[in-house]
Amino acid sequence: MAAYWLFKSEPDVFSYDDLARKGSEGWDGVRNYMARNFMRAMQVGDEAIFYHSQATPPGVAGVCKVIKTAEPDMSQFDPSSKYYDPRSKPSDPRWDLVTVAPVTKLNFVSLEALRTLPELRDCRLLAKGNRLSVMPLTEDEFNAIVDFSARGRPRG
């Protein structure tokens, strides 16, 4: 059974358009244990909302899918990488990545607009203080975001 996720990326670092240009990319640099564990739970075919964070305004940019399950994020072993972790060992890596590919670019949906969707009232994305870059979505949350993007307004 497919699961649904949300990935946050700063668009000036890596945007949905960058993913579309590349065709696929390893979602590297995650250094939060909860987010890492979510990636470890992902399966090939799972779909995700690609969310632009630290943008003006922040919001939803597209849909991507998992095309390769979790494997060690090699940037943790590279001293020249900003994601280097000197405590992580190749024999017992701490950090993983999944590989994602673009599915469809969405009409942009701002965070402010997402807050109007009743289906998202319990969504982790809208929770105060949530800083996770990878998080699960319910099927209803995922569909509400995609539907809103297509319609540009909430149901009702």
Per-residue confidence at 131, pLDDT binned at 50, 70, 90? confident
Give the model confidence (pLDDT) of 17-53 as tens digits.
Answer: 999 999 999 999 999 999 999 999 999 999 999 999 9
**Radius of gyration for the alpha carbons in the chain, expressed in angstroms and rounded:** 16
Given a cut of 60, whether residue 69 has pLDDT beyond it is yes
Q: State which H helix or E strand residue 35 sits in.
A: helix 33-41
**Rounded CA separation 151/148 (Å):** 5
The Cα 30–Cα 27 span in angstroms is 8
- Domains in the chain, CATH or no CATH each: 4-146 (3.10.590.10)
Q: What is the mean pLDDT of residues 10-21?
A: 97
Inform me whether the pLDDT recorded for 155 exceeds 50.
no
- Condensed to tens digits (0 to 9), the pLDDT of residues 82-113 reads 999 999 999 999 999 999 999 999 999 999 99
Q: Would you place residue 153 in the very low, low, confident or very high pLDDT band (cuts 50, 70, 90)?
A: low
The better pLDDT of the pair 116, 154 is held by 116
pLDDT band per the 50, 70, 90 thresholds, residue 6? very high
CA 84 to chain centroid, in Å, comes to 21
Amino acid at 56: T
Q: What is the mean pLDDT of residues 115-137?
A: 94
Q: Which two tokens stand for residue 153?
A: 């307004």
**Are β-strands 59-72 and 96-110 bridged in parallel, bridged antiparallel, or unpaired?**
antiparallel
Tell me the C-alpha distance between 42 and 35, whole Å: 11
CB 76 within 8 A of CB 85: yes
Burial class (CB in 10 A: 0-12, 13-18, 19+), 120: buried
Rounded to the nearest 5 degrees, what angle is found at the Cα of 40, between the Cα atoms of 120 and 127? 25
156 — pLDDT class (breaks 50, 70, 90): very low
Share of the chain above pLDDT 90, in %: 92
pLDDT at residue 142 is higher than 50: yes
Spell out the long-range contacts of 18-22 with Cβ–Cβ below 8 A and sequence spacing 24 or more: 19/50, 19/62, 19/64, 19/100, 19/101, 19/102, 20/62, 20/102, 20/105
pTM over cut 0.85: yes
